[in-house]
Amino acid sequence: MFLESQETMPQTPIFSSMLGSSCSGQVQPDMGERSGGDLVFQDGNLISGSLEALIEHLVPTVDYYPDRTYIFTFLLSSRIFIPPYDLLAKVGQICTKQKQQLEAETEKAKLKSFTAKIIQLLKEWTEAFPYDFQDEKVMKELKEITHRITQCDEENGTVKATITQMTQNLILSLTTRNQFQEIREKFRQPVTDKGTILKSKPQAAQKDILSVCCDPLILAQQLTHIELERVSNIYPEDLMQIVSHMDSLDNHKCRGDVTKTYTLEAYDNWFNCLSMLVATEICRVVKKKQRTRMVEFFIDVARECFNIGNFNSMMAIISGMNLSPVARLKKTWSKVKTAKFDVLEHHMDPSSNFCNYRTALQGAAQRSQTANSSREKIVIPVFNLFIKDIYFLHKIHTNRLPNGQINFKKFWEISRQIHDFMTWKQVECPFEKDKKIQSYLLTAPIYSEEALFVASFESEGPENHMEKDSWKTLRTTLLNRA
């Protein structure tokens, strides 16, 4: 995520072991501790401070460079209190003031050291949060700051070359992300296959997932491919916008500066589509024996997803099989060997705040940290639960303390969780891509909830008066629409 630091610049690795389950931000002895009266530390950890003091703590000096965990956490959380443009402008003002003081002292060595540290800070900012610079006025402010810095480098072009490379990388990142936004897929709406629903037998040429892929491991691998492609387009600021959006709702304000979190919506939509696809594949099978085979196949796929570390696809598959149109197929389930499914449901048991799942996730995360191969590094959490964790962290802790200072201890923890997600999403998928299988997973027709019930009732007839009434009503509704 960040460039390697220069040898002359003391730092600690970003989110090192000191960021455990508690808050962090411990100041390292060799970095110097710049703590004014408006910054509060506890056991060496920064826990609160005024916005102005936190901004000053971000800006390097001749003898000080901020901890990289602090840079990431503050840049991530600051957008709740101050727009990126205003923050950059304040950083520029502090830099200019320090530069003028150093120039007055006519100490070129110190001025050169200070310049190198400012460039490093800007590099880390543009790499970690490139979208902060999409606005023209922010980019203009960046150019003005870098222009003032290059005036210190009249003897050689080292600083100018570094800034040019940083700017080129930033433009490339923005271009790539904007291209994704332009070509992002439209949300796929559930569709009904009239031939399958309104006829007692399916069309002969109709495909199902087993005709495309009958190996549970391979299908799980292709699902992992899709998951990693989607999470690769999610950025830290996208996740932080959840907090910003909630604050806006709490304050009954409409935040015009909040970009639509289309990447989050697209990823959430993928989960729902996968759940509905699983239910569709099961419900549209007419023969009980083949339907039983389909259920057992998806159980095996979910188990392989679990073994890979792809918990999001696993949860989507389980959710699809727990939808009422599938769950009511008692004759089918009576033929299914449910022992493996029971184990999967145990892992996803919601009791005690999904304690079993969290234990499994922690195990996968530990495996990823010590892994030698990409296969062992894969960790794809259940995204809805991940978002809820951030939501509850935000709701149970205030942004500001009673004395008006920013509750930075809260943002250490939010930042830690987001950083973990960012680390997991960077894993390169080790499995060979199968375009045929992926095309089916992404484009196969899926039934609406109504259509699923009709197909379910036609596979196994209604068992009581309520189901019979629902079946007749739904069938009539779909026929009229057709």
Q: Strand order of the sheet with strand 406-407?
A: 39-42, 45-49, 406-407
Question: pTM, whole model, 2 decimals?
Answer: 0.82
3-state secondary structure of 423: helix
3-state secondary structure of 179: helix
Closest CA to 6 of 172, 98, 170, 124: 124
User: What are the C-alpha distances in Å from 244 to residues 45, 237, 328, 404?
Assistant: 25, 10, 41, 18
* Residue 64 DSSP code: B
The pLDDT, as a whole number, for residue 451 is: 86
Give me the tens of pLDDT residue by residue for the chain, a chain 482 residues long: 333 333 334 333 333 333 333 334 443 333 344 445 689 999 989 999 999 999 999 999 999 999 999 999 999 999 999 999 999 999 999 998 988 888 887 778 888 889 899 999 999 999 999 989 988 899 999 999 988 877 765 555 778 888 889 999 999 988 887 766 655 544 444 444 444 444 433 444 468 999 999 999 999 999 999 999 999 888 898 888 877 666 554 554 444 444 446 778 888 899 999 999 999 999 999 999 999 999 999 999 999 999 999 999 999 999 999 999 999 999 999 999 989 999 999 999 999 999 999 999 999 999 999 998 889 999 999 999 999 999 889 889 999 999 999 999 999 999 999 999 999 999 999 999 999 999 999 999 999 888 899 889 989 999 888 888 888 888 788 778 76
The pair of structure tokens assigned to 369 is: 């940290």
Are 197 and 474 a contacting pair, CB within 8 Å?
A: no
The pLDDT, as a whole number, for residue 206 is: 65
Closest CA to 175 of 130, 143, 140: 130
Question: What stretch of H or E contains 42?
Answer: strand 39-42
Strands 406-407, 45-49: parallel, antiparallel or unpaired by DSSP? antiparallel
3-state secondary structure of 41: strand
Strands 39-42, 406-407: parallel, antiparallel or unpaired by DSSP? unpaired
Alpha-carbon gap, residue 364 to 358, rounded angstroms: 10
Query: What residue ranges define each of the domains in the chain, with the CATH number in brackets?
Result: 39-181 (1.20.870.10), 214-249+259-481 (1.10.840.10)
Are 482 and 475 a contacting pair, CB within 8 Å?
A: no
Burial status of residue 427 (CB atoms within 10 A of its CB: 0-12, 13-18, 19 or more): buried
Strands 45-49, 39-42: parallel, antiparallel or unpaired by DSSP? antiparallel
The pair of structure tokens assigned to 409 is: 């201890």
User: What are the C-alpha distances in Å from 334 to residues 288, 319, 367?
Assistant: 10, 19, 37
CA atoms lying within 13 Å on the CB side of residue 394: 21
Fill in the amino acid letter for 440: Y
Closest CA to 280 of 294, 290, 293, 292: 294
